[in-house]
Amino acid sequence: MNRLKLALDDELSRANTTNGLYSAADPLQIATKFKTDPVITLICALFAYGNARAIVKFLIGLDFNILSLSDKDILDITLEKKYIYRFQNSLDVAQIFVTMARAKRELDLENIIQKGSQNSAIIYGINMLINEIYRLNEYRSSGYEFFFGKEFKTEPKSPYKRYNMWLRWMVRDSDIDLGLFKNINKSNLILPLDTHTHKVAQAIGLCSRKSYDYKAAKQITDNLTLFDPNDPIKYDFALYRIGQSGNLQKFLERIKG
């Protein structure tokens, strides 16, 4: 494990830098431009599914200034612009902006996460936030619900990758992350598990679960806690870049000696 930690720390020294962030497309590149606005950064995170270059291209084209307008103006402008992204049609995107404009006016996102997480894992704070967001708008469609995700009733099954990624941006206050939320402990964060990090974590012995689910994300997080109990998720971007770059085999050779 010591050899693995040394190799991950080495990857970290390159990945968690400005050069590392901009070495390939990533939604954080856009979120960074709005680092004082948790609602806009959440929009960036929730659209972060699919090809990274396509995500960034879509986010660049969005006009976030409309979040300060009335619901009617938001609908008129967004429908005229005909924003479409994968599972979201133009009406879905328009209603997403209406919902997030209301969130901007009515919700304290950090406080909701904190309240929901009291005496339990941060995933319950995410669940409370999803519940609060759905209260803001009666509109429903498959694209709208995919964007915001589904609540869980008793225990999580989904890894909630996009919300956990957003929380990494918002809570971690060093390297490439934004550190806007000051009252959530970064030791409580959960790895934003995607297909890249899941594959890498399995290959290097951080994950024994074949299922791409919350338990896998928690298992990897717990194992990373052995390397840094105060900030285990600092390794997220390094793991992601190993997978995204196609350098997993080279990394395996390094840790095997």
Tell me the three-class secondary structure of 172-188, residue by residue: CCCCCCCCCCCCCCHHH
Number of structural domains the chain divides into: 1
Q: What is the pLDDT of residues 173-198, one digit of tens each?
A: 999 999 999 999 999 999 999 988 99
Q: Name 85's bridge partners.
A: 88
Closest CA to 160 of 203, 110, 122: 122
Q: What is the helix (H) or strand (E) element at residue 220, kind and residue range?
A: helix 214-225
Q: What is the pLDDT of residues 62-87, one digit of tens each?
A: 999 999 999 999 999 999 999 999 99
Mean pLDDT, range 5-26, rounded to an integer: 94
- At 2, the pLDDT band (50, 70, 90 cuts) reads confident
pLDDT at 1 over 80: no
CA atoms lying within 13 Å on the CB side of residue 244:
18
Closest CA to 100 of 138, 136, 149: 136
pLDDT at 257 over 80: no
What is the overall mean pLDDT for the chain?
96
Domain that holds residue 183: 2-256
Closest CA to 5 of 225, 253, 237, 244: 225
Closest CA to 110 of 67, 28, 171, 159: 171
For residues 139 and 207, what is the distance between their CA atoms, to the nearest angstrom? 38
What tokens were used for 22? Answer: 């901009």
Yes or no: say if 220 and 212 are a contact pair by the CB < 8 Å rule. Answer: no
pLDDT at residue number 119? 79
pLDDT at residue number 239? 95
Coil, strand or helix at 164 = helix
- At 161, the pLDDT band (50, 70, 90 cuts) reads very high
Percentage above 70 pLDDT, the chain = 100
For residues 96 and 200, what is the distance between their CA atoms, to the nearest angstrom? 33
pLDDT at 26 over 90: yes
Q: What is the helix (H) or strand (E) element at residue 97, kind and residue range?
A: helix 90-106
pLDDT at residue number 132? 98
DSSP state of 88: B
pLDDT at residue number 39? 98
pLDDT at residue number 155? 92
In this prediction the pTM is 0.96
What tokens were used for 196? Answer: 């890249």
Residues in the chain: 257
126: burial class by Cβ within 10 Å (0-12, 13-18, 19+)?
buried
Neighbours of 211 (CB within 10 A): 11
Q: What is the pLDDT of residues 118-141, one digit of tens each?
A: 877 999 999 999 999 999 999 999
Q: What is the pLDDT of residues 204-241, one digit of tens each?
A: 999 999 999 999 999 999 999 999 999 999 999 999 99
Percent helix, strand and coil across the chain, each rounded to 5? Answer: 65, 0, 35
- At 256, the pLDDT band (50, 70, 90 cuts) reads confident
Mean pLDDT, range 156-161, rounded to an integer: 97
